[in-house]
Amino acid sequence: MGPTTYLYVPGNKLDFVEKAFNKGAENIFIDLEDSIPVQLKSAVRDSVCNFLKEGKPSNIYVRINSIDSFQEEDISALNKIKFKNIVIPKLEKNSAIIKKGLHKKFEKIIGLIETALGLDELKDIGQILNLERVGIGEVDFAADLGVAEEEKYLEFYRSKLVYLSRLLNLPKPIGGVFKNFTDIEALENFAHELSKLGFGSMQLIHPNQIEVVRKVFTPSNEEIENARKLLDSISKNQDSGVGVFVNEKGDIVDAAMIRKAEEILNFIEKL
């Protein structure tokens, strides 16, 4: 299932990184793209590389720029310090990192789908890049399509990303940001909708969002206990020579239920 939260930290706010981890961040995206003005990109890139070359945890990634010239400069700078984890925004086959073969020195690559073309090309991209996971950038995606940033207009494209992630044998995708970080109830509802749709995590813009989002995407104690009971029942029935059986709720236990139970317990073991 993979980690449940990815928190953005602007590249010019590096003092926030330690604070974010102290508040429970699982993964951090240090941002060189949207949060950094053009005139500061070079200086912030240098600052980020100086920060990272000291040796940082493996759960820090750098979101590089999408514009080719800036992207190539970001990649060159990260290669010099042998930093291996990147997030590629507006991922398309025409992205500089792909068309110039600049991806080979990176070990952990997360791709953000933010255009119709990127979504359409994802199956091919998955054969080129060794993707760790993919996510959706809904603000830019909605702008690219000319639709409102509302669930009913984006649900189809979210579902397609879930489908393609499964097709590429990737973990469940990363949902987009929820911009109002003060409305925790609305955030929880948003996260639940993504979870039901097949997403396994979210991008966050504020530490206050960590706890509720992690709770939504982490199996509850009841779900964990039910998964254990189910797998125990399977083992006992198999030992007795029983193939198909009915659980205590009256449901026939099928392969999908077994797979879900195994997924839950595997997730818990990795925490």
Domain borders along the chain are 5-217, 221-269
Task: For residues 106 and 231, give the distance between their C-alpha atoms in angstroms, rounded to a whole number.
Answer: 38
List, for residues 81-114, the tens digit of each pLDDT value. 999 999 999 999 999 999 999 999 999 999 999 9
Percentage of the chain modeled with pLDDT above 70: 89
- The structure tokens listed for 26 are 């699982």
For residues 216-222, give the mean pLDDT: 81
Task: For residues 158 and 247, give the distance between their C-alpha atoms in angstroms, rounded to a whole number.
Answer: 33
Contact 165, 135 (CB under 8 A): no
The distance between the two most distant Cα atoms of the chain, rounded to a whole number of Å, is: 71
List, for residues 46-95, the tens digit of each pLDDT value. 999 999 998 888 999 999 999 999 999 999 999 999 999 999 999 999 99
Instruction: Kindly report the number of other CB atoms within 10 A of residue 196's CB atom.
Output: 8
Is 126's pLDDT higher than 60? yes
What pLDDT does 263 receive? Answer: 75
Given the candidates 3.20.20.60, 1.10.10.10, 3.40.718.10, 3.40.50.1100, the CATH classification of the domain at 5-217 is 3.20.20.60
Contact 95, 121 (CB under 8 A): no
Rg of the chain (C-alpha set)? 20
pTM of the predicted model as reported, rounded to 2 decimal places: 0.87
